[in-house]
Amino acid sequence: MESLFKRWVILSDSTMRKKYEAYIKSTDAKIAAFLEFDVDRGLGLAAEVGKGGELEGVPFAVKDIIAVRGFRLTCGSKILENFVSPYTATAVEKLIAKGGVMVGKTNLDEFGMGSSTDNSALGKTNNPWDTERVCGGSSGGSAAAVAAGMVPFALGSDTGGSVRQPAAFCGVYGLKPTYGAVSRYGLVAYASSLEVIGVCARSVGIARTVFDIMKGQDEKDQSSLNSGTDAPEPEAGVIGVLGGNLGLDPAVDRAYRATIDFYRSKGFEIREINLSMADYYVPVYYTIATAEASANLARYTGIRYGYRPGYAENPEELTRKARSEGFGNEVKLRILLGTYVLRSGFQDQYYQRAQRLRQAIRADFDRAFTRADVILMPVFPTQAFLRGQGGLDQFQQKLADRFTTAANLAGLPALSFPAAVSDGLPAGMQFLAPAFGEARLFDIVRLYEEHFPCPQPPSCKPEWS
């Protein structure tokens, strides 16, 4: 395990640190993954704990929707642009306790709402493979920072694919843990019942180590759980795959077939499974996520913190102005949608119906996992798309969440990995496992990694990466 981070022990040595900071400066000028970068403050937080551990001297980054004391917590929004967090998220605290140095906060779609990171009010982040293209989202800054060799891992949050999709776009590993496996305390809520803190990582081993450090029940998050058992997972033998026309871009389709062939060649049984509820993932996801968002985002009023308009006649006007000037369009759209689906008299038609369908989706996966040990599917129908013309509009992006939202609706763990590089861009696949089956995911993806190690964008190859 020591060797995993060996090359990344950068910040214990002043020469290395200088080189590192110079690299970040030049690289992030092109990528713009970070909203805030401050090694000194990160070292300060590590020094407060003192003991050190397996992450000593290792830099890591955190999506700017997760609280780290003394750093801003903007959520990519104008409404929190100058908000400095007075506390640290439990998951980050655990990493710092192991010596990790939290060097900066990464860009994201505003409040985690988006698939490109272009919905950030505070700047655009470019894909390290092609700066004309988006890095994915919403944890785009974290995925780009890892892909560009700026950190070995970066935390993200995954509400409907927000770790796995940018990881796929940038060619790194992206773990969405089981719901409740990692404390959400300090993760700014977008859709509380769906989201979890995850990790973008340079290798499977790094993702695994980081997950093992972060996981576990937290008294500050009463929805968090300990995984049932520490017994070693039996190795997966049967891989469930999707049949029919999946509507994938050719490069992604080729990568999916090739990945299936790889595992078949390694002796796995490939079994086509039928996920009968698949058509409901996206509508159910957007109904539940927006409903929860409409309540979760109600606290931003400019009264206690955050963006405050210059003048208001009364508290109501202050709130109205702060919100209409402070939130971006996608956020406003989702708040309105969520308010709509929760109206009395319409709940049964929308929110309650979505909850019932969610139960059916869970049951569908329970059935699927009686036939397969893990399920392999694409992450996103396309590779990283272009901005503007030739890209995807907001509605197309939502429809494209059809492979990622399932894990969130069912609370299952999923691990995305770079399966191929095609036309100079990575294509990502993901495995899903039953709840608390993370070990199974790490094991099976590790096998792929042994044959096809993490690709690196040609222009970003620092000595430690």
Decide if 63 is catalytic. Answer: yes
Question: Max CA-CA distance within the chain?
Answer: 71
Q: Residue 305, interface with other proteins (CB under 8 A)?
A: yes
By CB under 8 A, tell whether 86 contacts other proteins.
yes
> What x/- string results for residues 6 through 35 when contact with other proteins is judged by CB under 8 A?
------------------------------
State yes or no: residue 314 binds other proteins (CB under 8 A): yes
Indicate if the alpha-carbon torsion angle 444, 92, 145, 84 is positive or negative.
positive
- We find the least distance from the C-beta atom of residue 343 to other proteins, in angstroms, to be 6
Q: Is 78 a catalytic residue?
A: no
Query: Is residue 47 exposed (0-12), middle (13-18) or buried (19+ Cβ within 10 Å)?
Result: exposed
- Bridge partner residues of 209 (DSSP): none
Contacting residue, 12, 131, 192, 274, with other proteins by CB under 8 A: 192
- By CB under 8 A, is residue 292 in contact with other proteins? yes
Distance CA 415, CA 442 (A): 8
* Burial bucket for residue 112 (CB in 10 Å: 0-12, 13-18, 19+): buried
Nearest residue (CB) to other proteins, 323 versus 440: 323
- Are residues 335 and 294 in contact, defined by beta-carbon separation less than 8 angstroms? yes
**Is 30 designated active site?**
no
Q: Which residue's CB is nearer to other proteins, number 12 or number 193?
A: 193
Nearer to other proteins, 77 or 397 (CB): 77
Q: Does 208 bind other proteins (CB under 8 A)?
A: no
| Residue among 43 and 188 whose Cβ is closer to other proteins | 188
Half-sphere exposure of 270 (CA within 13 A, CB side): 17
- Contact (Cβ atoms closer than 8 angstroms) between residue 418 and residue 426: yes
Q: Which residues face 182 on adjacent strands?
A: 215
In the complex, minimum distance from the CB of residue 128 to other proteins, in angstroms, rounded to a whole number = 28
Per annotation, catalytic residue among 85, 162, 224, 294: 162
In the complex, what is the shortest distance from the CB of residue 311 to other proteins, in angstroms, rounded to a whole number? 12
Least gap, CB of 318 to other proteins (angstroms): 8
Q: Which two tokens stand for residue 377?
A: 């599917």
Q: For residue 304, state whether it binds other proteins (rule: CB under 8 A).
A: yes
Do residues 343 and 129 make contact, with C-beta atoms less than 8 angstroms apart?
no
The Cα 390–Cα 372 span in angstroms is 37
CB contact at 8 A, 61 and 92 = no
Binding site for other proteins (CB under 8 A): 65-67, 73, 75, 80, 83, 85-87, 89, 184-189, 192-193, 219-223, 291-292, 294-295, 298-301, 303-305, 314-316, 319, 339, 342-344, 347, 351
- The catalytic residue positions are 63, 138, 162
